[in-house]
Amino acid sequence: MTDTRPPSVLTIAGSDSSGGAGIEADLKTITVHGCYGMTTITGLTAQNTTGVEKIHPIEDQGFITACLDAVFSDVGVDVVKTGMLSSQETITTVTNYLKKHHANKASVIDPVLCSTSGSTLFPAEYVSVYLELFGLATIVTPNIPEAVELASVLEKKKFETPKTVQDMKDLAVSIHKTGAKWVLIKGGHLSFTKDKEPAKENDTDKVVIDVLYDGKDFTELVMPYITTKSTHGTGCTLASAIASNLAKGKDIPQAVLEGTQYIQNAIFEAHPIGKGHGPVNHTYNMRVLPFQKGHFLDYLLSHPKVAPAWKQYVEHPFVMQLAKGDLKPECYYYFLQQDYLYLRHYARAAALSGYKAKNIAQTAAAGVIIDTIQSELGLHIDHCKENGMSLEELENSEEGLQCYAYTRYLIDVGAAEDWLALQFATSPCLFGYGIAARNGKNHPEYKPGNRYSSWIDKYVDPKFGCATETGRALLEEEAPKVSPERLEELIEIFATATKMEVTFWNKALTLGE
């Protein structure tokens, strides 16, 4: 049996009441990366985009351990990511727990000492306690102020804020001595020119450089500098992106590269939220379907581009007069002639659909629809014979402009577009006749046994319903796979074909006027 369990990532961090950083940012990031996120909350913060007002550490170490036990003993943990750990005691608890339950497994340690906006989240005198945790890390991800603080404690000397890429590399070398396998110095607090010189405020084409170090080699990750206030939670988000990428089996260089690409786009696509440093857009690359899976047709028929014409179509006076039995015979037989010609072209379109199909199921579905068309044609032939019209006369009927325009539109879509577009073009006919016939049968003035009731009965018959269900199943399966922009194009095709259905019946209804 295939294991469909998503990779799991545990974030051990604090909560951000404004939702832009901490576990809130972590869970959003983990989710959009296709992983399953879990938490152990180490502290609560009262904060927003303007800063951190209060921090309430979780002091009960037994509770923190219980949270860790609950996660590790049940779901399991592929990668651990840590953020704000709130106190010396919590760092010790987490370090000891990971030594026992997660040794030699992937962990991303984001040493949250201060936020991107500059708020202090962890007292400087506690920094030395962090260093033992670093020895368990696959990668540590300090920003520049945190790297300066950590290196100063490690080397027992004051490090100045770096001004060059070499200064950042020196910080990475120092922090690597803790035993972490990799060190990523996040360079978001600095900007450089493309020549890697410190940038001035009015410089254009500025870049940001992150430095990745494995104890031997340096990798410089150069990205465009984005002028923005939407930087709240960038550190948490990047660390969680790296953790998620590791959980999906990527190596460190690739996990970091893709993580930095993700955070760049999340910053660039951020919405203006709050009065200060707003959050990034964690879900910028997550597509949200405008409909619930399995209910695309409901969405399609209620779409503003479709709904007005669809109502005209399935409640058309032509069908209602068929239901009541008072449609002029010449209108009905004109319709049969035109519909006979239309269905022949429709069958061609269905055959083209089978040719363009991507798999045997889609080709077989085209066959089901063609079989249904053949049955419909038989009904038309029988009805015309009852009116004294031979098959030869029916075959040689002149094709009206409405029929011509509609059928050539279907063939044109089939020739110029892909398989799915052709399904959208042919679907109004496939779905609409059954619905219109049911509406006619449910009409309060419906007369069973009238001269046209066999037409109504044909389209409410379960055999016709089989073809419509086949068509619906294809759309329900394929619609969620296309981009929002392409979906709108396909809906436009459906709407156009629906309008042509209306004009088709309009012509038949007005023939005798």
pLDDT at 61 over 70: yes
The last residue of a domain, from among 248, 268, 288: 268
Arithmetic mean of pLDDT, 93-104 = 96
Number of domains in the chain: 2
Name 404's Cβ contacts closer than 8 Å, sequence gap at least 6.
none
The answer as to whether 418 is a domain residue is: yes
Write phi, then psi, for 46 (nearest 5 degrees): -100, 100
466: annotated active-site residue:
no
CATH of the domain at 98: 3.40.1190.20
Taken in order 191, 194, 197, 200, is the CA torsion positive or negative?
negative
The answer as to whether 177 is a domain residue is: yes
pLDDT at 131 over 80: yes
Q: Answer for the pair 215, 244: CB distance below 8 angstroms, yes or no.
A: no
pLDDT at 224 over 70: yes
pLDDT-based confidence at 512, cuts 50/70/90? Answer: very low
Cα three-residue angle 270-274-277, rounded to 5 degrees: 65
Q: Are residues 330 and 226 in the same domain?
A: no
Residue among 35, 67, 331, 429 flagged as catalytic: 429
282-297 tens-digit pLDDT = 999 888 889 999 999 9
CA quadruple 121, 123, 124, 128: dihedral, nearest 10:
-100
Q: Distance between CA 252 and CA 217 in Å, rounded?
A: 13
141-199 tens-digit pLDDT = 999 999 998 998 888 888 888 999 999 999 999 999 999 999 999 988 888 888 888 88
pLDDT at 43 over 50: yes
Residue among 24, 146, 501, 513 flagged as catalytic: 501
429: annotated active-site residue:
yes
Q: Are residues 82 and 141 in the same domain?
A: yes
Question: Domain containing 351: what range?
Answer: 296-509
Among the residue ranges 175-179, 299-303, 306-310, 449-453, the one predicted with the least confidence is 449-453
Q: Distance between CA 409 and CA 405 in Å, rounded?
A: 6
Chain mean pLDDT for the chain: 90
Distance of CA 29 to the CA centre of its chain: 13
448-498 tens-digit pLDDT = 989 888 889 888 888 777 778 888 998 999 999 999 999 999 999 999 999
Q: Are residues 304 and 264 in the same domain?
A: no
Write phi, then psi, for 89 (nearest 5 degrees): -65, -40
Q: Are residues 254 and 397 in the same domain?
A: no
Does 230 or 121 have the greater pLDDT score? Answer: 230
Q: Are residues 212 and 304 in the same domain?
A: no
Q: Are residues 248 and 300 in the same domain?
A: no
Q: Distance between CA 502 and CA 513 in Å, rounded?
A: 17
Question: Which pLDDT does position 119 carry in this prediction?
Answer: 52
